[in-house]
Amino acid sequence: MAEVKEPTHGTVPPLKVVIRVLAPYARPHLWVLVLALFVTLAGSVAALLMPQVLRQLIDGPITTGDRGALLPATLVVLGLGLFEAAMVFVRRLMVLNTSTRIEYKARMALFSHLVDLPAAFHDRWPSGQLLTRVTQDLNLVRRWLAFGLIMLINDISMIIIGVILMAGTNWILALVFLAGSLPLVFLMVRFEEQYRKLTRRAQDQSGDVATVVEESVKGIRILKAFGRASEALERFGGEAEKLRDLEVERGQADARIFRWLVLIPNVVIAVCLALAIWFASFGWVSLGGVVAFFATATILRMPLQFLGYLISFSLDSLSATSRFKEVMDSPVTVADPETPVAPAQGGRGARLEFRNVKFKFDDQGPGEAPLLSGLDLDVAPGERMALVGLTGSGKSTLINLAARFYDVTAGCILIDGVDVRDLTRDQLRSQLSVAFEEPTLFSASVRDNVLLGNPDADDDVLAEALQVSASEFVESMADGVDTVIGEEGQSLSGGQRQRLALARAIASQPRLMLLDDPLSALDVHTESRVTAELDRALGQTTALIVAHRPSTVALAHRVALLDRGQVVAVGTHHELLATNERYRYVISSFETEKDAA
Ligand SMILES: Nc1ncnc2c1ncn2[C@@H]1O[C@H](COP(=O)(O)OP(=O)(O)OP(=O)(O)O)[C@@H](O)[C@H]1O
Ligand SMILES: [Mg+2]
């Protein structure tokens, strides 16, 4: 099994790797990008032709005093100027639509992969790292494809064409210009090496900053309650400062190269000017030629100076693409089987079997004992089995394994005799539903939240689910079942959230229900109402219910006791009470809790 890796602080990959990564999204739009490049080049060539017209004008009509030629020449200059402006406009128009589409496709692919990735991946990757990859990094790549890459090719082409045109005027001057600019190449190579190291670190750091913000905002109540807001600020400040330092380092590297990119062409132009005047005194170069040479050199100053920025932009983008690639390359370890087995067409309730199940989390050390070490359990169709064990004994993990959020390390879990790994995840989800102690709600209406697993269900199903879970509080909400509950249902009480999560599990009308202590936040009276309703509503549905209270245990036909990685006893509550010392010990901890309540 491929292992889930943690986010790495990687390096900037070579261009060919990046091209391979972006190709699937960019390929259908490649022709637009190539066309945009040609449009840009056409505009640049028009700009470079202007000095040539000027040269003809000075050496021709201006020297000879031919007024008749002035108008056509002026019109040509004007035409070239207008053409250049039009090309810039057309390029922008072309790339906007295309690059945003590429960005959208890559973003969709990334998100779809994210939701496909196993729970083990999300256990390890900080949310801020994912957030910045989905938003900031892909945005950067889009701007690079639309602008940076095209301008980089355009600027290099412009410098080459410009130097050729200069050579047409006077090859010695062109050679001096070229030789004078050579140190820039050396400086740029050195800059690239330095910048390469900085850019990835800065992007990773920006992900760490986002993680701190996310965690603090999510835990804002706890931070406030424990008066820890200032510590959170301090921690954030630490991360933000690291980011700032990296940005400063990046900026300094930029500034160092920029200084040379401005200075060197200016010095070279000054040297060429002295030479040109000297050459002109011998008549080796015409007046028009001198003007054209300097006009061209002045035009070339811009792409030369811009080159430093474009190189850093490209490196930023290569690095951002590699961050995208890392997530995309993370394997979907809990994947659909190649040849799925059709789920058995059983009755209302499914049979659930755990056979010699062993399980170890990826981040458990090799020396650590597995959490589950050969666990066997058989839940018959229509049976309700309570799962009891001390805290940390692995009850939630068992539920997670049955729902295939993780895969077993050894052994197997069968639903109606079919290994859960032989079902597609859709097939599996259609068989079962889950409700956790920590309910998860989305910023959507109550209806959408409850019918999440069964979106086509009618209002009767919704009403029944709400009734069973004693969620009558919904009626008094502003828009009833259409009330939109805030982000993560924060506007609801813990017990209300739990009841809606339970309603969701009921509404999907599964054959197997996995309930992880779903009533823990309810008061005793509401709990007994829900328990009675649930008893009726579950009917023939098979259920595995993690129980921390005697009243929840009472809902079950039999109880399984989980201890030291195994199911050590199965029986009715009364049988186990009478025969099992360990069970009495575990149950006595419930009683204490109840007394305290
Ligand atoms: N994602 C994870 N990665 C690594 N270890 C984990 C992970 N989730 C749980 N564990 C460990 O596995 C053990 C069992 O956890 P689990 O949540 O299954 O216990 P539980 O029986 O449900 O406890 P409780 O009654 O407190 O809910 C714990 O020691 C926990 O630290
Ligand atoms: Mg638990």
Protein residue whose Cα sits closest to atom 18 of ligand 1 = 394
pLDDT at 376: 96
pLDDT at 578: 92
Distance 524 CA to ligand 2 centre (A): 20
Instruction: Tell me which residues have their CB within 5 A of the ion that is ligand 2.
Output: 396
In whole angstroms, what is the distance from residue 96 CA to residue 178 CA? 35
pLDDT at 221: 77
Candidates 299, 305, 363, 340; CA nearest to 431 is: 340
Of ligand 1's listed atoms, the one at least distance from the Cα of 399 is 18
Of ligand 1's listed atoms, the one at least distance from the Cα of 517 is 27
Q: Is the C-alpha dihedral spanning 370, 371, 375, 381 positive or negative?
A: negative
Question: Residue 222 above 90 pLDDT?
Answer: no
Distance 435 CA to ligand 2 centre (A): 12
Protein residue whose Cα sits closest to atom 11 of ligand 1 = 392
Neighbours of 367 (CB within 10 A): 5
Most confident of 273-277, 451-455, 560-564: 560-564
pLDDT at 218: 80
Distance 522 CA to ligand 2 centre (A): 17
Of ligand 1's listed atoms, the one at least distance from the Cα of 398 is 18
Distance 519 CA to ligand 1 centre (A): 19
Domains of the chain: 15-188+256-328 (1.20.1560.10), 352-439+510-596 (3.40.50.300)
Task: Express each pLDDT in 465-497 by its tens digit.
Answer: 999 999 989 999 888 899 988 776 777 888 899
In whole angstroms, what is the distance from residue 409 CA to residue 7 CA? 23
Question: Residue 396 above 80 pLDDT?
Answer: yes
In whole angstroms, what is the distance from residue 196 CA to residue 387 CA? 54
Distance 396 CA to ligand 2 centre (A): 4
Question: Residue 345 above 80 pLDDT?
Answer: no
Average pLDDT across the chain, whole number? 89
In whole angstroms, what is the distance from residue 572 CA to residue 196 CA? 65
Of ligand 1's listed atoms, the one at least distance from the Cα of 397 is 18
More confident of the two residues 231 and 164: 164
CA atoms within 13 A on the CB side of 362: 16
Mean pLDDT in residue range 168-195: 89
Going by pLDDT thresholds of 50, 70 and 90, the confidence category of residue 16 is: confident
Question: Residue 433 above 90 pLDDT?
Answer: yes
Cβ contacts of residue 62 below 8 Å, gap of 6+? none
In whole angstroms, what is the distance from residue 421 CA to residue 511 CA? 18
Query: 93 burial class (0-12, 13-18, 19+ CB within 10 angstroms)?
Result: exposed
pLDDT at 384: 94
Query: 14 burial class (0-12, 13-18, 19+ CB within 10 angstroms)?
Result: exposed
pLDDT at 348: 86
Going by pLDDT thresholds of 50, 70 and 90, the confidence category of residue 3 is: low
pLDDT at 67: 77
Q: Which amino acid is at 596?
A: A
In whole angstroms, what is the distance from residue 445 CA to residue 196 CA? 47
Q: Tell me the ligand closest to 118's alpha carbon.
A: 1
Question: Residue 523 above 80 pLDDT?
Answer: yes
SS (H, E, C) 135-173: HHHHHHHHHHHHHHHHHHHHHHHHHHHHHHHHHHHCHHH
Question: Residue 597 above 70 pLDDT?
Answer: no
